[in-house]
Amino acid sequence: MITVTQVSMVLAAGGHSITILDRVSFEIPAKQTVAIVGPSGSGKSTLLGLMAGLDRPTSGSIELDGSDITTMAESRMARFRREKVGYIFQSFHLIPTLTAMENVAVPIELSGEHRADERAADLLAAVGLADRMRHYPVQLSGGEQQRVAIARAFACRPPILMADEPTGNLDSSTGAHIVELLLALHRDYGTTLVLVTHDTALATSMQRVLSLRDGRLESDSLSSSSRCHGAPKAESERSARLSTPKAPVRFSS
């Protein structure tokens, strides 16, 4: 599903070259849940952005679902990303002048799907925001904004879902509920889930953990629960322990 081959990212700063990523390679099969961890400055978020096609590496290649996104024209990349990748930003990136429902409806409208508002309303109800869909981002809590961002990322039913520090700006209780929502997407739809996190508990709830240090892949391992019990079952059991859901988590098709 995702193949990263010898990817490097080098930036120029003050007359010097700074290596953000240094020849990183790995493969992620379809339907796997993966956490990318590492200290601040290790290149985690840069790598995730490259995998989503938000930027291009200095060298190397990245394939999503058999297509090399590093050679795509920008217009084709935008269409491909809309169809294949849902991306959740740490700072939510909701459009402040649009309501929650309008934020979720935007990618649906761009995809040409009919009844965008109806689909957006269903998604918001699925993440427990049926009574908040007419509210603007400034009227929502951090956890509510993150749930809107999740609904928007999944609006076009992408096979790949990526999240940059999805619990980083949230308290532990709200963060646990966000994790359950993400794992519900994986369970219900077989979505490939890749996230960047500093949260050890969140990382170990994934089937696999990739650890970066100084821009290099330091380790690539199955989580302890995956090794002990088998990935799908362990993931489901652990995610159930993370929280008692405060809202429905099954997403309508």
Higher per-residue confidence, 240 vs 152:
152
Residue 178 has pLDDT above 90, yes or no: no
Half-sphere exposure of 192 (CA within 13 A, CB side): 16
pLDDT at 162: 95
pLDDT at 172: 83
Instruction: Identify the CATH number of the domain defined by range 2-76+83-90+158-242.
Output: 3.40.50.300
Q: Mean pLDDT over residues 7-30, rounded? A: 93
Give the start-to-end residue ranges of the domains of the chain. Answer: 2-76+83-90+158-242
pLDDT at 29: 96
pLDDT at 243: 36
Residue 166 has pLDDT above 50, yes or no: yes
State the pTM of this model.
0.83
How many other C-beta atoms can be found within 10 angstroms of the C-beta atom of residue 51?
Answer: 24
pLDDT at 227: 55
Confidence of residue 18 (pLDDT cuts 50, 70, 90): very high
DSSP 19-33: EEEEEEEEEE-TT-E
Half-sphere exposure of 1 (CA within 13 A, CB side): 19
Residue 253 has pLDDT above 80, yes or no: no
Q: Mean pLDDT over residues 206-233, rounded? A: 78
Q: Mean pLDDT over residues 52-58, rounded? A: 94
Question: Model confidence over 91-113: pLDDT tens digits?
Answer: 889 999 999 999 999 999 988 88
Residue 153 has pLDDT above 60, yes or no: yes
Confidence of residue 224 (pLDDT cuts 50, 70, 90): low
Confidence of residue 233 (pLDDT cuts 50, 70, 90): very low
State the angle between helix axes of 172-189 and 142-153 in degrees (0 to 180), rounded to the nearest 10: 10
Asked if 107 contacts 149 with a C-beta cutoff of 8 angstroms, the reply is no
